Structure 1
Amino acid sequence: MPIRMRFTTWRSLATAAIAVLMAAFLTPAAAHAAHAATASPRESRPVYSYANAIREAVWVDTGLDGDRDGKHDRVAVDIVRPREPARQGRKIPVIMDASPYYSCCGRGNESQLKTYDAQGHVVQMPLFYDNYFVPRGYAFVGVDLAGTNRSDGCVDVGGRSDVQSAKAVVDWLNGRAKAYTTRTGGTTAKATWTNGRTGMIGKSWDGTIANGVAATGVKGLKTVVPISAISSWYDYYFAKGAPLYDSGPDGLSNYVDSPDAQAKCAVVQNKLVDGAPRTGDWTPFWTERDYVKDAGKVRASVFLTHGMQDLNVRTKHFGQWWNALAKNGVERKIWLSQTGHVDPFDFRRGAWVDTLHRWFDHELLGYDNGIDREPMADIERHPDQWVTSKVWPPSGGGATTLRPGRGTQAGVGTLGLGKGHGSETFTDDPQLSETDWAAKIATPTPEKAGFLTGPLTHDLRLSGSSKVTVTATPTTRTAHLSAVLVDLGPDTIRDYADAAEGITTGTDRSCWGASTAGDSACFKNTAAKRTNVDYTVFSRGWADLGNYASDRKGVPLTPGKAYTITLDLAATDHVVPAGHRLALIVAGTDKDLIDPPADRPTLTLDLSRTSASVPLVGGAPAFDHATPTKPSSAPTATPLTGVRNPSTAHRIPIG
């Protein structure tokens, strides 16, 4: 468990009041600058020149030879650091983003790339991290993962090469690895300017690498800030045997490989294909890329953020990672938004920059600014409306077992605490999705079985991960299952199914740090994109029924035989308000979110052996308190007015 550094600090009420009043009348960027000028001395301030910052590149020896050219791979490390601390004999901490996207695809909402001057020194570093933190006494380091941009080696999609190419940089920053001034030769470069205290940050693949490096237990890595990040690569491509995408990690590697890597990495590319069979079976390939199993090695604190409607890097990733970190006593903090795969800089910019600033000040500079004593979780309940939770998941909750029962209409049943009864039958229709099912939950349709409470008399909060256990008899040798939880009732939510996944990008800009002619700190402002809906699907899970006996290997089914399997539903934090209904839907293929099976099965559910274990705050008593004694008739079906279908554009974990 990380050792917390404690200091005593004091801030006058008058100073605090002035800061609050000034912030009320200034633009976000101006208010932020005013806050910095009036803040406690235990806050880093923009006192160093960004225009005069040192910009340099080194190539770190990874100790690997992934491209099999007989030489150790070197990864390119671009550095921006303030000039003044070294002159003063002061060593500074590092904020690092290791990414495969610096040349192929870009980073952030505006898809920024690294740019260089004639000497090969970085001119533009994507995102605001260098602009904002370098003047405050941090170095910013952008690492090209092995096989990308200016680095040697091969992309192995979350495996040893990916992780080692970033870990080696942390080792170099702490004096344990070698670096050189050029890619092929050059003189030895030493990081004499840093104290080695490193924080890693990044969204999607970048944040995934931060998780992977933290799971090595490398010394010197003090904190990681994974944004919409993967925790186990198997769960990016499969859900208990059911394929989530129509391609494997080889396609992702092709997307980011540098020209050198494309020429040299055929052997690695073949391993990516062979190690990830489309059967969905677990192989040693996935074990290497499972960071959750190594959570006990994590020394760094973790501040993670994830969109609860992220259908690219789905929320199972943060849920299982968070739980594993908690079991191992890791210091942690979390933000959960209503967005899809979106960076918090683009959905809650001012608060994010301020919180990130205080987090790094605390974790890397050791300032006692109180952030470790604030609520653990920030949760977006409605667009731009946030609440906090002292701990997450909150205490007083627990797994509550809800059971479906047969109703008066086929396929429209009840959901409650009593023992389930009866059976329901549905036929897989790969052309329909979870929103199609939810739109007709009160109507008997052949492709799904729905179960719902009566209108709630009190709010119900579900916080954490759910499981749905299903006993089903198929008519074919292959079958896929989906289970979703639905909040039935009108609401205004972020439009996560839109291409921008819950935000709208404007044309005006706000500035977050210092700028140069080649690297602006000003970014297009964004706003919440809202939509009105009649229901909200808020948690999902999938499985191949052939994996009934093992999470790791599927087998052909025997038609007419009953099988029991448990589906893991994605982590969430959602309040079903009074007047709405809570519903469970069980169906086959969830269009655009899993691929269909080879056959088109009809499945019969045994409701006496089907149940949902849901993380209700207040447990069974809260459910009993919120539900009528007798479920009322099902609501009239209404068309979805906002989100119609899950976005089909989720194929690569970028952004």
Structure 2
Amino acid sequence: MGLPRKALRTTAVGAVSATLVAGTALGLAPAAQAAPTGIRFVDITGDGGTVLKANVVTPANADDSRTYPLIVLPTSWGLPQVQYLAQAQKLADSGYIVLTYNVRGFWQSGGEIETAGPPDVADTSKVIDWALANTPADPKRIGVAGVSYGAGIGLLAAAHDKRIKAVSAMSGWADLIGSIYSGRTQHSQAAALLNGAGTITGRPSAELQQVFKDFFASNLSKEPELIAWGAKRSATTYIDKINANGAAIMLANAWGDTVFSPNQYADFYEKLTGPKRLEYRPGDHATPEVTGLFGLPNDVWKNTTRWFDHYLRGENNGIEREQPVQLKSRSTGGYEGYPDWKSVGATSRKIALGGTSTIRANVNSGADGGIIFLSSILDQIARLPPMASIPLLPRRYAAVWQSEKYASPQRVRGTAKLHTTVTSTKESGTLVAYLYDVGPLGLGKLVSNAPFTFHGQTPGKPFGVDLELFSTAYDVPAGHRLALVVDTVDPLYIEHNPAGAQLTFSSPAADPSYMSVPLREQ
């Protein structure tokens, strides 16, 4: 059973409205500033003759007798070409030629939305061609940066164009299906946001329209096609080409990104063999970068500039000597450095999930991941994640396990993992796991969550479930507990629980169930 269409429409309208309001502000705020010397709006012929609307910002008093490093900025999903103008001005002031363009299918650019398909990747190369022919850009010093959609396109372009020497991919994806279909579960609010924004601000291709139709309809017969469609648009598919080309890759994301989860970036980062950097901060999709789009001080954009300064201009600014994995804690707001991702949460503690618990499906127990954007932004600004009263959760609809009280703070870092045995009365179903920080009064603050959907199981026959929750950095205070809650309904996801379904969780002696919690050493 899927999320009701009325709920999907409501979710889409709210999410799209918020995005378009933000997009309008982001588009107009930089444009309202004084136009910099050397800015011009141009038309660029993209792949197949498609016209791309773009703007070029050059250093003041640029000398045509010399060359300058080039940075290309593809726009985010649904946002206009002036999105990056404030940052483009800053980069130009420091000696870069900056070319930002509206990706095909959106706003005034021609074509249809290809969702980072081959035409989008080819467009990036065409834009580089144009810049080399029409500006004093240096062909040996080319970088690509972007937020969200622009980040995904930038990573793909680095696999297909050897001229690209550095990339900063902010709040993007490396695995598209691993983002919006993780745990074989449709992330309905995220997809509704993308679908709605694309329809309002652009021209979705027939292929994309069919993908969304099959996605929301839970059409399992189309699942192989969906996965193949996503793989073609995922940088992880082309990891060998990216490594062979050797571009320096910087990845930045938010712990609470409800569109592109942090896990898929970490997996991709570990596969990179060239110069690389991975940054995580509190927030939701693209919220850590948003102040930088207004030209305000911003850590992500600051490090992006440092990244390009070193790898395109050869500046000895020390970024290559810093710990390459940089995490900002949701609890302290401080940064922590690690030599690699596997060093994050170097130790782990298991919470035994003993006994047997049976829950009924199709009812939201009161534990959920919150609302797209709103919940993670509250966590980012006020450290107020989604909450639930753990003692009051109805055990008919939620299975609950708790740890002992911790005598010292527990610094959760990385990816918590659930291992359990499930028996269903139906062949299909969905479960959602939540990890809570529980205080003395029983109020739980959400640490992480993740969905899991199964199909084709034999009713009454136990099967194993291994589920990675979304990666995070969160401190559990001394005197608190950790609690695992599992139920079957969450507004963030489409669930697949037939009417009358029940799920039983057990812990066989030969294969005990547990939650493995990664911890930073004290």
Q: Which residue is equivalent to 2:53? A: 76
Pairs within 5 Å for 1:15-414: 51-62=36-47, 64=48, 72-82=49-59, 84-87=61-64, 89-99=65-75, 101=77, 105-106=78-79, 113-114=80-81, 126-173=84-131, 189-214=133-158, 216-245=159-188, 253-257=198-202, 261=203, 265-266=205-206, 269-270=209-210, 273=213, 278-279=218-219, 281-283=223-225, 284-298=228-242, 299-325=246-272, 329-341=273-285, 342-346=287-291, 349-382=297-330, 385-393=333-341, 395=343, 397-398=345-346, 400=348, 402-406=350-354
Report if the CA contact (8 A) 2:345-2:414 is conserved.
Answer: no
Distance 1:600 1:162 in 2: 46
Deviates more, 1:482-491 or 1:199-208: 482-491
Report if the CA contact (8 A) 1:334-1:378 is conserved.
Answer: yes
Report if the CA contact (8 A) 1:54-1:82 is conserved.
Answer: no
Q: Which residue is equivalent to 2:465? A: 565
Distance 2:418 2:428 in 1: 20
Report if the CA contact (8 A) 2:280-2:326 is conserved.
Answer: yes
Distance 2:308 2:350 in 1: 42
Report if the CA contact (8 A) 2:412-2:519 is conserved.
Answer: yes
**Displacement, 1:53?**
1.2
Report the AA paired with residue 476 of structure 1. Answer: K
Distance 1:601 1:294 in 2: 41
SS of 1:282 mapped into structure 2 = helix
Indicate yes or no: 2:474 matched with 1:489: no
Distance 1:370 1:314 in 2: 29
Report the AA paired with residue 372 of structure 1. Answer: E
**Displacement, 1:544?**
0.9
Report if the CA contact (8 A) 1:425-1:602 is conserved.
Answer: yes
Distance 2:368 2:208 in 1: 39
* Bigger Rg, structure 1 or 2: 1
**Displacement, 1:252?**
5.6
Q: Which of 537, 544, 566 lines up with 2:453 in the alignment?
A: 544
Report if the CA contact (8 A) 1:405-1:451 is conserved.
Answer: yes
SS of 2:62 mapped into structure 1 = helix
**Could you say if the C-alpha distance between residues 161 and 376 of structure 1 is closer, same or farther in structure 2, counting changes exceeding 3 Å?**
same
**Could you say if the C-alpha distance between residues 563 and 394 of structure 1 is closer, same or farther in structure 2, counting changes exceeding 3 Å?**
closer
Q: Which residue is equivalent to 2:407? A: 457
Indicate yes or no: 2:334 matched with 1:425: no
Report the AA paired with residue 602 of structure 1. Answer: Q
Q: Which residue is equivalent to 2:12? A: none
**Could you say if the C-alpha distance between residues 267 and 303 of structure 1 is closer, same or farther in structure 2, counting changes exceeding 3 Å?**
closer
Report if the CA contact (8 A) 2:69-2:97 is conserved.
Answer: yes
* Deviation sequence 1:406-453 (CA, Å, 0-9, x none): 4xxxxxxxxxxxxxxx31111224434535996243456211112221
* Deviation sequence 1:245-283 (CA, Å, 0-9, x none): 1757765642442xxx46xx4466446656997336232
Structure with a larger share of its residues in helix:
2
Report the AA paired with residue 55 of structure 1. Answer: R
**Could you say if the C-alpha distance between residues 238 and 330 of structure 1 is closer, same or farther in structure 2, counting changes exceeding 3 Å?**
same
SS of 1:243 mapped into structure 2 = coil
SS of 2:415 mapped into structure 1 = strand
**Could you say if the C-alpha distance between residues 605 and 399 of structure 1 is closer, same or farther in structure 2, counting changes exceeding 3 Å?**
farther
**Displacement, 1:352?**
4.3
SS of 1:385 mapped into structure 2 = coil
Report if the CA contact (8 A) 1:230-1:236 is conserved.
Answer: yes
**Could you say if the C-alpha distance between residues 384 and 169 of structure 1 is closer, same or farther in structure 2, counting changes exceeding 3 Å?**
farther
Report the AA paired with residue 560 of structure 1. Answer: G
**Displacement, 1:50?**
7.2
Report the AA paired with residue 142 of structure 2. Answer: T
* Deviation sequence 1:52-83 (CA, Å, 0-9, x none): 31424141332x4xxxxxxx434333211125
* Deviation sequence 1:439-473 (CA, Å, 0-9, x none): 24345621111222111123333332233223211
Report the AA paired with residue 289 of structure 2. Answer: P
Stretches of structure 1 lacking an aligned partner (at least 5 in a row):
1-48, 65-71, 107-112, 115-123, 176-188, 407-421, 492-532, 547-554, 623-655
**Could you say if the C-alpha distance between residues 192 and 355 of structure 1 is closer, same or farther in structure 2, counting changes exceeding 3 Å?**
closer
Report if the CA contact (8 A) 1:233-1:289 is conserved.
Answer: yes
SS of 1:486 mapped into structure 2 = strand
**Could you say if the C-alpha distance between residues 233 and 428 of structure 1 is closer, same or farther in structure 2, counting changes exceeding 3 Å?**
same
**Displacement, 1:579?**
2.1
**Could you say if the C-alpha distance between residues 157 and 353 of structure 1 is closer, same or farther in structure 2, counting changes exceeding 3 Å?**
closer
Over aligned residues, Cα RMSD in angstroms? 3.3
Deviates more, 1:128-137 or 1:330-339: 330-339
Distance 2:138 2:305 in 1: 19
Distance 1:353 1:558 in 2: 51
SS of 1:169 mapped into structure 2 = helix
* Deviation sequence 1:549-595 (CA, Å, 0-9, x none): xxxxxx3x332222223223212223323322222222222233444
Report if the CA contact (8 A) 2:270-2:341 is conserved.
Answer: no
* Deviation sequence 1:153-185 (CA, Å, 0-9, x none): 221223222333224323554x6xxxxxxxxxx
Distance 1:585 1:267 in 2: 38
Q: How many residues align?
A: 456
Report if the CA contact (8 A) 1:319-1:465 is conserved.
Answer: no
**Could you say if the C-alpha distance between residues 460 and 136 of structure 1 is closer, same or farther in structure 2, counting changes exceeding 3 Å?**
same
Report the AA paired with residue 86 of structure 1. Answer: D
Distance 1:170 1:599 in 2: 55
Stretches of structure 2 lacking an aligned partner (at least 5 in a row):
1-33, 370-385
Report the AA paired with residue 310 of structure 1. Answer: D
Distance 1:275 1:351 in 2: 36
Report the AA paired with residue 282 of structure 1. Answer: P
Distance 1:269 1:435 in 2: 29
**Displacement, 1:152?**
2.8
SS of 1:164 mapped into structure 2 = helix
TM-score by length of 1: 0.62
**Displacement, 1:201?**
2.0
TM-score by length of 2: 0.77
